[in-house]
Every structure is written in C-alpha cells, then in structure tokens.
Amino acid sequence: MISDRSLITPDWPAPANVRAVCTTRMGGVSQAPWDSMNLGSHVGDDSQHVQENRQRLAALAGIELCNVGWLDQVHGTNVVSLPVTGVPRADASHTGQPGCACVIMTADCLPVLLCDVSGTRVGAAHAGWRSLCGGVLEELVSGMGGNPAELMAWLGPAIGPQQFEVGAEVRDAFLLYDPAAADAFSERGARAGHYMADIYLLARQRLAASGVSQVYGGDRCTVSEPQTFFSYRRDGQTGRMASMIWLSDNP
C-alpha cells in the first residue's frame, strides 16, 4: 500500500494550505517492468493496475480522483487552467480551486511545481528538454498571473547532470535562447560531439529569467536510483511517477 514513506514531500517554505507530493516507484500494484506504483496509462501496463495506483494516490492526498488534472503530455508548451473537461493535450496546468490537483507524470523529464506565497494558486509543468527549451516554464509563470517574484518553485526528481548526455543540437537550441545556458553543458559526453547537460540548472535559469527567484529541490537523479525511481533512459519500458500539487481547504 502506498504510504508516506513511498512519497517525496517537497522541502520548501510553501504556505500551509499548499500540498504537494512526488511519488516513487514504490507502493503500487503494477507488475514488472512497471513495478509497482506506475501512474502512466500509456506505457503498456494493465489499465486496472494503473487505475488502482491512481486511486491510491488520490486517497492518500485526500482528494477525489476525478479532481486530479491528468494531462496528455506531448513535450510542448501548452498550459491549461484547471478544472477542465477530459484530458487536455498540454504540458503544464494551474489552478486556484481548492481540492483540484495539478499533476505531471515523468520518468527522467523534470517536474516543476509552483505556488504563490499567499497560497492562492498552484501550478505544475512537465519540463523535459524540449518543453523547457520551448518555454513551458515561462508560459506557466505567465498563465498563473500576478507578480512572478511572489512565486516559488520546486524541482522534482529528474535525470541528473552526470547521466544526461545530449547531442550538440540540444545545446545549440538552448544557446539560441540564452548564451548563459552554456554553463549547463560540459564537453565530456561518452560520444563525440555530445555533452552532459544539467537540466536543473537550465530550469533555474529559465525561472530566474521569468522573475522566479525562490527555487528549491533539484538534487535527485532518476537514472542513478533504480530502487526509487522509474527511468526511461535507463530501462526503456518502464512506469511513470507523478508530481502533484493542490490547494487544501484545511491547512
């Protein structure tokens, strides 16, 4: 059974009514290679297992499963305001409605959770390199409204800088936006013409450029912790974790 020990709780000074969790691969019912807390319905797992895992997460959070805002993530920059009917094609969401959860699924890509310091709005973004480079964080910050300086962010588990090897085209795409992104790439990839990328630093740079200076997290590696995290780059066929944030009526 999923428990608090199967979850990661962000260490950040969020308001008391802001709740957030990130699942690990532990605490669910899925069988290998999706063992065990797989929350992705698109990875080949038994649909009944996925539904049970999602129900367990909602129950632990104390919210109705129908109020969890699952997205059809496509590595883009579209942002939706929750609640919304169906499963929208988007890579970020935000809401000001208590009991309605923003959720992002990942297995190496970077989940970014946001809230404002007054506890009136929360948001979540799927920041794989394509979405991140395309501006998904900027779109989410803009969509949440208000003063970006009053937002804080938490960077959830993602592929770490010692594992994230990318081609020169990825580095070039980021440098076209900001030459300072060069600091997030080192020329020590295992293959010629490849670089090791720090997706956490890239996200911090984009958030800072958007006016968000309070940034926490960003210290785990999904690839290097196989007992704790799913990793698509490490395993290929695998499950998905969820990073979820919501406003509570009972702080």
CA 170 to chain centre: 20
187 is a domain residue: no
What mean pLDDT is predicted for residues 12-25? 96
pLDDT in tens, 221-233: 999 999 999 999 9
The mean of the pLDDT values for the chain is 94
Percentage of the chain surpassing pLDDT 90?
90
The count of domains in the chain is 1
Average pLDDT score over residue span 121-139: 98
SS3 242: strand
Task: Give the separation between CA 69 and CA 50, rounded to whole angstroms.
Answer: 15
Task: Evaluate whether residue 149 is within a structural domain.
Answer: yes
Whether 66 and 74 have beta carbons less than 8 Å apart is answered as: no
Residue at 68 is within a domain:
yes
Q: Quote the domain boundaries for residue 137.
A: 4-159+215-247
Does residue 69 form part of some domain?
yes
Query: Does 191 map to a domain?
Result: no
Residue 236 maps to a domain:
yes
The gap from C-alpha 55 to its chain's centroid, in whole angstroms, comes to 19
Where does the pLDDT of residue 155 fall: very low under 50, low under 70, confident under 90, or very high at 90 and above? very high
Helices 136-144, 199-209: crossing angle, 10 deg rounding: 40
Type of residue numbered 56: R
Q: What is the pLDDT of residues 36-71, one digit of tens each?
A: 999 999 999 999 999 999 999 999 888 889 899 999
Q: Is residue 73 part of a domain?
A: yes
In a domain, 130, yes or no: yes
In this predicted structure, what is the pLDDT of residue 251? 61
Write the burial class of residue 199 (CB in 10 Å: 0-12 exposed, 13-18 middle, 19+ buried).
buried
Convert the pLDDT of each residue in 168-211 to its tens digit. Answer: 999 999 999 999 999 999 987 667 789 999 999 999 999 999 99
> Which token pair is 230?
């799913």
Partner residues linked to 151 by β-bridges = 116
Distance CA 246, CA 248 (A): 6
Give 213's contacts (C-beta < 8 A, 6+ positions apart).
Answer: 149, 207
pTM: predicted TM-score of the whole model, two decimal places: 0.95
pLDDT at residue 246 is higher than 70:
yes
Q: Provide the CATH number for the domain around residue 81.
A: 3.60.140.10
